[in-house]
Amino acid sequence: MGRNGLMSIGGARLTPYVDTNIMGYMSTKSQVNFHASPHAAEGEVPFSMTLLVRDTCLCLHVQRAARALARRFDRALKPVGLTNGQFSLLMSLNRPDLPGVPRATVGSVAELLGIDRTTLTAAARVLVRRDLMAVKMEPGDRRSKVLVLTPEGRRVLAEAVPIWIREHEALEAELGADGANRFRKELGILCSEDLHSKRPGLVKTARSR
């Protein structure tokens, strides 16, 4: 590694944060023997490790897939003025006010969406300003806030649902029925390991312990 934290490969100087062009440095036909890679100097990481992470890191591959899906649904939902995250948030509030149906408290919605309360609050603030949702105090407990759809929010969500159905059907067709179901199951396993709250959400996803 040269000065300023740059790696040198074949005379080229590369930053440690390898971009997608460098990630494509090795073709799919190339064979890399990671165990036989030259030893890096102390305190340095060999390029073979970069390739190993590129090809095997589940976290990286899930992140890339998540971003690609987010962009896909963002494009699809653009005509109704929603992002994929806003659609998910509004949909999570689409629940009847009936006995046995959990109320959309900040905590339960954050758990359902897999985000922290601060992130949820910031996302909700945008939709509140657009009059798509509102924040109310929980009856009997003013410390607890409940998120609700406004009439305008229900109208926009109703326009978005057919778009989501079409895009999701196209995606499932690309994956195949078995592939889509297996994908959901495997993602559910990863998500269940991350659950740390006992609060009831709209759905129960944590595995029994």
In this structure, the chain runs to a length of 209
Eight-class DSSP state of 24: T
From the centroid of its chain, how far is CA 49? 26
Would you place residue 11 in the very low, low, confident or very high pLDDT band (cuts 50, 70, 90)? Answer: very low
CATH 1.10.10.10 positions along the chain are 60-194
pLDDT, one tens digit per residue, over 114-153 is: 999 999 999 999 999 999 999 998 777 767 789 999 999 9
* CA distance linking residue 86 with residue 29, whole number of Å: 41
Eight-class DSSP state of 132: S
CATH number of this structure's domain 60-194 = 1.10.10.10
CA–CA distances in Å: residue 167 to residues 72, 77, 173: 9, 9, 10
The answer, yes or no, to whether residue 181 has pLDDT greater than 60, is yes
CA torsion sign for 13, 18, 24, 29 is positive
Eight-class DSSP state of 135: E
